[in-house]
Amino acid sequence: MADRTAFPLFQDLHRFAVVGVNHRTCPDAIREQLFVADEELPVVLRSLRVFGVEEAMPLSTCDRVEVAGVFPNPEEARSVIAKILCAPVGLDPALLEPLLYRHVGGDAVAHLFRVAASLDSQVIGEPQILGQMRAGHRLARSLKSSGPLIDATMSAAFEAARQVRRETRIAEGPVSIAAAALAVARDVHGALERTRSLLLGSGELGLILAGQLHDGHGTPVTVIDRIDRRAQATAKLLEAHHRPFGELSAALTDADIVIAAAGEGRTVLSAEMVENALQKRRYRPMFLVDLSVPPDIDPAVNRIDEAFLFDLEDLERTATEGKNARRAEADRARALVDAAVARFLSAQSGRTAAPAIVRLREHLEAMRAALHEDQPNLTAEDATRLLLKRILHAPSEHLRRLAATETLDDRTIAILVELFGLDEEQGEDE
């Protein structure tokens, strides 16, 4: 039997699946309950093992919760993941299961490549997802839940993502929007080193902007999220502080810059809340940037003195690169990722075939050696004729048995014709 560790991958490709929800497939109110913090991961992995999932890498961000793994039966993967994700929060799995996407085999590989390259993100080109996937993979390996298939796939996905960053300007979109927001913030407040900021939610653009404030200007960042576990995880990622959602009004009063990236599809900050905060601030200016569609902040805030509200459309106009340019870069990035997926699958398919090719060569060499030992004095022509007869005996008998039982289908014949180039030989004879 071939050494499984020598050819780790695509013996199991047909059982490899990615199952989950993201910002497009699942309502926020459900998805946010499914968030899995790092400290909760061991429980999830134990549950996956109970269901026979041999390798597993969960990924949980503000925009997606999904599991990549080798499932005993991929057809049942949605049901398994629905039960595991719903159990800790008391949700009905029957409610979640129809919302789950499922990618199997090569489609699962392609999905992970696209996610790593930030082509499946709410904001295409954002850099956070690659770091989150790397952290998730490291954690899975440390908990011994990863394996050869996931390790090889993620390594190739990370390299494809790096290639996209090197060869396209896809990342400039989010960066240029964040740069536009920082420019407006400087217009409002002057030196940003003396400001304090509040990140509401954990959307990708919000993470970028908060990270640039923290890293580039030393601006203290406080994170608030309706899901406190997610606020803690985001704060840890940014090396920031977090506060409970119930303290939003107090946190708003302390904030010179408010970054709204909750993406809940409803108003989180009302005009009244902003007005009250400004009163307590004695009307020191407040810059608010709403990075969500639909908006997190009531547009009526625009009518409040000393409240300067900018949304994505405002920042798009200020940014140096337009939407069309970013769309073109995204198309180039998709082409690079598609080519990387094709190369990876092709290379791994070759590795899968290698053990069978080695066994075939060894089998034929053993037949040649046995013939030479049995009849060492044969002429070359007689030896060749007898060797061909021995080689073809077992396959010919097997084909006759299939034909006799009416199980010789067109696919088997087509494979035989392709393997031995029979069509080509017939064409040459003609």
Which residues contact residue 265 at a Cβ distance below 8 angstroms, ignoring those fewer than 6 apart? Answer: 27, 28, 294
The Cα–Cα gap between 353 and 357 comes to: 6
Given 21, 44, 59, 62, which residue is catalytic? Answer: 62
Alpha helices by DSSP H, listed for 143-222, are 148-167, 172-189, 204-217
What count of other Cβ atoms lies within 10 Å of the Cβ of residue 13?
19
| Beta bridge partner(s), residue 261 | 201
Place of tokens 């992970």: 112
Contact 271, 304 (CB under 8 A): yes
What count of other Cβ atoms lies within 10 Å of the Cβ of residue 303?
10
- For residue 121, what are the CA distances in angstroms to 223, 286, 398? 21, 29, 52
Contact 79, 60 (CB under 8 A): no
Contact 223, 197 (CB under 8 A): no
Which amino acid is residue 68, in one-letter code?
A
Which amino acid is residue 101, in one-letter code?
Y
Place of tokens 């000393």: 306
Task: Say if strands 257-261 and 241-242 run parallel, antiparallel, or are unpaired.
Answer: unpaired
Burial level of 253, CB count in 10 A (0-12/13-18/19+)?
Answer: middle
Burial level of 275, CB count in 10 A (0-12/13-18/19+)?
Answer: middle
Residues 381-412: b if buried by 16+ CB within 10 A, e if exposed: eebeeebeeeeeeeeeeeeeeeeeeeebeeee
86 is catalytic: no
Point out the residues that are catalytic.
Answer: 62
